[in-house]
Amino acid sequence: MKVPMLDLSEQYQELRSEVLEVLDGVMSSSRFILGDNVKKLEQDVAKYSNVAHGIGCGNGSDAIHIALQALEVGPGDEVITTPFTFFATGGAIVRAGAKPVYVDIDPVTFNIDPDKIEAAITENTKAIIPVHLYGQMADMERIAEIAKKHNLAIVEDAAQAIGAKHNGKSVGELGSAATYSFFPTKNLGAYGDAGMIVTNNDDVAEKSKVIRVHGSKPKYYHSVLGYNSRLDEMQAAILNVKFPHLDRWSELRRQKAETYTHLLKEMVGDAVVTPIEKEGNYHVFHQYTIRVEKRDELQKYLQEQGVSTMIYYPLPLHIQPVFKDLGYKEGDLPISEKAANEALSLPMFPELKTEQQEYVVAKIAEFYGK
């Protein structure tokens, strides 16, 4: 049996006629940039996130960068974030001209540990970027409390967490802004690059809209430095077709997660640590990530047996070569470093079959001699 990490083909076959129709609509209209499809998606995603504004961007990485710039985070400022994330989180901080300050994670959720944030705050701290990793929100109530006390902005990196909730609150409700990625592999994926900022803050929304079009306001007059980062009409039209299915897909992901956890407990036992949904959270399982010893050997074994897995992420950001000038060294953030050596994400997508999950778990059990 072959089990891919992700297979988007079945979903495309289901939506094919609708997708082709809307693409034909865009091409027939000859309106390709910032038209009605983008507007509709911005309104729908903002409403879904329980906030007032959505600002479509070229991708999720630019969404973080633009949100920081709109919040006036720049040179001389420090931004607190987690090192256990995709590169783009740290990259956006540096591109905005600010300095990333990495804070270690909670070993259970893999998200930034709110207990460690205050010790990292200095007079230069301007913002916090919690990342809702794997589809589970960070402890936003605690983080919002800390931000309020120290007068800091919050940009939630929700690239992996559209639809996630924390004590009934959506992504974007407690932060100054939140950012989504619609990269094809994300829970709501375009057929190319796309992203969005959502915010309740009118000023941040207005500034973000100006920054994504070269800082142009009115047209051809530039008072801030922006660049070209827009969500295009074709991607927005595709996302408008997919968006009504998102909640059903999240439910299917949750069911697959439950099946994995049940099978792993039964067949493998304590050789694996299964992911935990913290009380009050609605986890949308962008990834189903286990912790294991002999992780690299297990991954190799599974690959030989036809099972694809991924390591998100093998090297935390504080020890990435590109950030060496920040002065961190190995051992500085031990919980993130340990997670980087033990985390393994299993195949996860709404169309994954139970037989495939049974096969994956049987092969893990075989590897550990269970």
Ligand X SMILES: *Cc1c(COP(=O)(O)O)cnc(C)c1O
* Interacting residues with ligand X (CB under 6 A): 59-61, 85-86, 88-89, 131, 157, 159-160, 181, 183, 193, 195
Nearer to ligand X, 190 or 272 (CB): 190
Nearer to ligand X, 195 or 226 (CB): 195
Minimum Å gap between C-beta 370 and ligand X is 32
Mind giving me the DSSP string for 303-365? HHTTB--B-S-SS-GGG-GGGGGG---TTSSHHHHHHHHHEEEEP--TT--HHHHHHHHHHHH
How many other β-carbons are positioned within 10 Å of the β-carbon of residue 201? Answer: 19
Secondary structure (3-state) at 96: coil
Minimum Å gap between C-beta 270 and ligand X is 29
* Six-digit token string for 338: 């340990």
Minimum Å gap between C-beta 354 and ligand X is 27
Residue sitting closest to ligand X (CB): 60
Minimum Å gap between C-beta 84 and ligand X is 10
Nearer to ligand X, 126 or 186 (CB): 186
Whole-number Å distance between alpha carbons of 84 and 143:
17
Minimum Å gap between C-beta 134 and ligand X is 9
* Six-digit token string for 48: 């879904």
Nearer to ligand X, 178 or 272 (CB): 178
Minimum Å gap between C-beta 221 and ligand X is 29
Buried b (16+ CB within 10 A) or exposed e, 241-267: ebbeebeebbebbbebbebbbebbeeb
What is the DSSP secondary structure assignment for residue 35, as one 8-state letter? S
Minimum Å gap between C-beta 350 and ligand X is 18
Nearer to ligand X, 88 or 271 (CB): 88
Nearer to ligand X, 60 or 226 (CB): 60
Nearer to ligand X, 268 or 343 (CB): 343
How many other β-carbons are positioned within 10 Å of the β-carbon of residue 75? Answer: 8
Minimum Å gap between C-beta 159 and ligand X is 3
CB pairs under 8 A, 24+ apart, for 36-42?
36/233, 37/233, 37/236, 37/237, 37/240, 38/230, 38/231, 38/232, 38/233, 38/236, 40/236, 40/240, 41/196, 41/231, 41/236, 41/239, 41/240, 41/243, 42/196
Nearer to ligand X, 170 or 229 (CB): 229
Nearer to ligand X, 101 or 155 (CB): 155
CB 41 within 8 A of CB 236: yes
Whole-number Å distance between alpha carbons of 370 and 87:
36
Minimum Å gap between C-beta 92 and ligand X is 8
Secondary structure (3-state) at 209: helix
